Structure 1
Amino acid sequence: MELQAERMVDHSLRTKPIAIITSHHNNGTIVSLSKEAKNEGLFHGMKIGLARKMSHRVRMLPYNHNLYGYIYKNIIKTFYNYTPLFEPIHYGQYYLDMSGTNKLYKSMNDIGIHIAKNIYSQTNMKSKIGISSNKLISKISTKVVPENIWQIYNGNESQFLAPLSPDILPICSEKTIKKIIHFLIINSIEQLQQIFKIPQLASILFKDLYSQLNQQVFGQDNTPVYPLLQKSKIINQKILSQDSNDYHLLQSAVRELAGNIGYKLRKSNRAGKYICIEIHYSDGFLNKKYCKLNTNNNHEIIKICKNLFDKIFTRRNRVRAIIMTTTNLFYISQQLSLFNESSTKYQNISSALDIIKKKFGKNSIHNGFNYELCSKLKSVKI
């Protein structure tokens, strides 16, 4: 979606190699890139310093949050005209549950055409739509089928997957499965399907991942479409514009992420049972740890996250990104406390901050600790 948006704004970029980047600094990384840029030898996640050495033709554009956010909101408004059950994965990728709409339109293809036309009229963005009985097949079809709208009928899932490479299945990104597939020289999903027709052999080969791989090999996926307010987790990510091991800078990033998590939880009147922090270092190393949360109070969330960060920030290497995830979301009802005045005080402060953010925007007010450092950071939300 990012590439389409940039080319829509500047028509001169339509045939040129372009890359969307986190920062123009040498330690920045490529977030998204065009086919022309891939032909130049660049790839997703490459450092900007190396990319500049490899190719001088590629136009590198900074991540434009305002533009992508505006397009995202207009696409969401379009979906509400067709179904209340849709699940945004990230900018440019969505799942829609169209159950019960057969009587309103001639066919599912007809619905797909209507949705694509409406999105184009609202945003000038072209769509690629995969229609099937589950999320797995819909996602794969948009990757491998050249047509803009394609339907895989119920019962034809395994036949559709058979000629494709095993790499297209999400579970095949697991290292253990990759090694087995490479060792057995398996080049198509059809070969995997033949193995899984002998359950004893497949269970010995793939062990704990047998049941999950068995489902994906035959195109089975029972996960429902989670509406926007019913998703079981909230993820926030912050990518530093320049890799750093400055403790105060990183603490500022943690406080800001924790504040955003709290705002989203209170907005939906929910709390998270657990919270997890991941630190991604510039050398590719990853540290993560989680603990119980059970609150949506800003003061408590920031306090918990600061302690959690201190436990996992144990290396001297520079940090590239911090990811914060809260899971097992549940609805809560506020109960007035007669004795715990400090808790009521912090709840009132959080409520006052929420009112300001709703009226003037999410970035209208910052914590004093973050104010001097926030200009050094660049936020990417998932």
Structure 2
Amino acid sequence: MHVDMDAFFASVEVLDDPSLAGKPVIVGGRERGVVSAASYEARKYGVHSAMPTATAKRLCPNGVFVKPRGHRYGELSNIVMETLSDFSPILEKASVDEAYLDVSGTETLFGPPAVLAKKVKDAVREATGGLTCSLGIAPVKFLAKIASDVNKPDGVFIIEAREVAGFLKTLPVGDIPGVGKHGKGALAKLGIVMAADITRYPEEFWLERFGKWGGVLYDRAQGLDPRGVTTYRAPKSEGAETTFAKDIWDKNELRRILWGLCERVGRRLRRDGNLGRTVTLKLKDVDFRNITRSRTLDEPVNTDERIFETAADLLDKERLTKKIRLIGVSVSNFQRTPYQLKLDLRGEGEKSRRFEVIDKTVDAIREKYGREGLVRGRSLEDDGESAESRKGEDED
């Protein structure tokens, strides 16, 4: 079973503010940012997630733009996942608003698929106070995901084993997860329009043309998917980024913003017990050119200061030729082991322990009083002037 919450972020905003019901709600809000989610009313105008906010405003001038509330979405996501776990202990959280469940063998407890689906939907609606979800039930994982999208929103679609072959004959090849726009075009040149058309060619043909993915594609065309439901998937990286209201060239201003991002990343790493050795700086200039610079450290880190000093050094060494519209930082190459014992001639170990104590204290205070309960000096302006006023002077 694949469970997909309907327009999750936008639906949460309507849930918390009923006056938004029936209106084109767009979660994102920032002039230079991107759309995080759109209600179905907004989607009628062509608005979709990952679309630039400016484009969304042009397409839907009467849209109601709201600022994302990650904490609230996470809170309700946890409620949804806990509710789903009542129906199967084998649950894979695919994202904040979707999950897979292995429901084989649950018929004696909850009834046949159609009855089970109704019970799941009713339970999610009751637990969340009114949120709806769409369900897909099928013999294999990728078909369940496709099925959950057939009768959205608030729908159910079930593919029985005996129906798989017929379903694939009517399934556009572009609907297979992973095919994408370019893959669809490449397949169209071979006369492949529906998923079942793939079987016109032998598996060797697809392996030779597309490698490993060709083999996967050939399996999908026959309704095969060996993947099971994975109950836990360890994160491979932790990151944060932000898009500016106005483009920035001043490195001092970029460093100040970078510090706030490093705090967010460090807090999440410590919360999950992760340390990482690779720090990556991400920049996007006014021409939408992405710049990424990485450094792999001798020791894994999760303190704000260590992450920042590495990312800031990468920023300092980068020669900016154009103004920047986005900055981000991430930590990857995880390991859960503490620092290795070695000669510490420069007192780095003591310095790291001091950073750890500071971060632990700050985390505890913010956990109790909120993020604004304590603000570090790096987050403040050096000269008392606002960032906006400095940006205005730079532009003048």
Bucket of the pairwise TM-score, normalised by the shorter protein: 0.7 to 0.9
- Indicate the SS of the match to 2:62: coil
The structural deviation recorded for 1:164 is 1.9
The one-letter amino acid of 1:190's match is: A
- C-alpha contact 2:29 2:65 (8 A) present in aligned 1: no
1:18 match: 25
Following the alignment from structure 1 to structure 2, what is the Cα–Cα distance between the partners of residues 226 and 275? 28
1:365 match: 374
**Please, which moves more after superposition, 264-273 or 326-335?**
326-335
- Indicate the SS of the match to 2:261: helix
The structural deviation recorded for 1:348 is 2.0
Compute the TM-score of the two structures, normalised by the length of structure 2.
0.76
1:211 match: 215
The structural deviation recorded for 1:104 is 4.1
Structure 1 alignment gaps of length 5 or more: 378-382
Structure 2 alignment gaps of length 5 or more: 1-7, 389-396
- Indicate the SS of the match to 1:171: coil
The structural deviation recorded for 1:119 is 1.9
Sort the Cα spacing of 1:265 and 1:4 in 2 relative to 1 into closer, same or farther, 3 A.
same
The structural deviation recorded for 1:368 is 1.6
- C-alpha contact 1:20 1:61 (8 A) present in aligned 2: yes
Q: Does 2:175 match 1:184?
A: no
The one-letter amino acid of 1:318's match is: I
Sort the Cα spacing of 1:194 and 1:368 in 2 relative to 1 into closer, same or farther, 3 A.
farther
- C-alpha contact 2:91 2:229 (8 A) present in aligned 1: no
Report the structure number with the largest CA radius of gyration: 2
Following the alignment from structure 1 to structure 2, what is the Cα–Cα distance between the partners of residues 337 and 356? 33
1:126 match: 132
User: Deviation digits for residues 159-178 of structure 1, max 9, x if unmatched?
Assistant: 54442222223322274x34
The one-letter amino acid of 1:192's match is: I
2:148 pairs with 131, 135, 142, which one?
Answer: 142
Following the alignment from structure 1 to structure 2, what is the Cα–Cα distance between the partners of residues 301 and 107? 52
- C-alpha contact 2:206 2:215 (8 A) present in aligned 1: no
2:5 match: none
- Indicate the SS of the match to 1:128: strand
Following the alignment from structure 1 to structure 2, what is the Cα–Cα distance between the partners of residues 40 and 70? 30
RMSD: 3.6
1:240 pairs with 240, 243, 259, which one?
Answer: 243
User: Deviation digits for residues 178-197 of structure 1, max 9, x if unmatched?
Assistant: 441243353221222333xx
1:349 pairs with 358, 363, 366, which one?
Answer: 358
Following the alignment from structure 1 to structure 2, what is the Cα–Cα distance between the partners of residues 155 and 288? 49
Sort the Cα spacing of 1:134 and 1:52 in 2 relative to 1 into closer, same or farther, 3 A.
same
User: Which of the pair has the greater relative contact order for Cα pairs under 8 Å at 6+ separation?
Assistant: 1
2:100 match: 95
- Indicate the SS of the match to 2:356: helix
The one-letter amino acid of 1:320's match is: L
1:220 pairs with 202, 222, 225, which one?
Answer: 225
1:105 match: 110
Number of positions where the alignment pairs a residue of Structure 1 with one of Structure 2:
368
The one-letter amino acid of 2:379's match is: N
The structural deviation recorded for 1:369 is 1.4
Following the alignment from structure 2 to structure 1, what is the Cα–Cα distance between the partners of residues 381 and 263? 16
Compute the TM-score of the two structures, normalised by the length of structure 1.
0.78
- C-alpha contact 1:234 1:327 (8 A) present in aligned 2: yes
The structural deviation recorded for 1:224 is 4.6
Following the alignment from structure 2 to structure 1, what is the Cα–Cα distance between the partners of residues 48 and 387? 25
The structural deviation recorded for 1:345 is 1.8
2:177 pairs with 170, 177, 188, which one?
Answer: 170
- Indicate the SS of the match to 1:232: coil
The one-letter amino acid of 1:353's match is: V
2:254 pairs with 250, 255, 267, which one?
Answer: 250
- Indicate the SS of the match to 1:263: helix
